[in-house]
Structure 1
């Protein structure tokens, strides 16, 4: 379902990173999120998937040396 909405913790779990990393991505405007209340953030799954797509090494022409 593409209209899923994640909390910081859920997004971090989905990306397999820590909460702090997700907060840094939001602060750097690399991951789109909506602020709810004073401290809570919500991130759409589709925005997380777009972040992953936009940061795939194939798209940036980065080769992985084996």
Structure 2
């Protein structure tokens, strides 16, 4: 799996703008299922992530920090 495919990131406003109630319900069910599974496996079940767009002017600096810490490439 490449670094580009390690995570799914979905912008909340895109879900609100482009998905109906059934889609939102499915997304909620997927999230809940993952949460329960991680809890059952005794893993952290409520991760929080920092997400930045690569077109932000500071993105290259963040990428360099990630590289220095072995989290990029």
Task: Give TM-score, length-normalised by structure 1.
Answer: 0.29
Higher RCO by CA contacts (8 Å cutoff, separation 6 or greater): 1
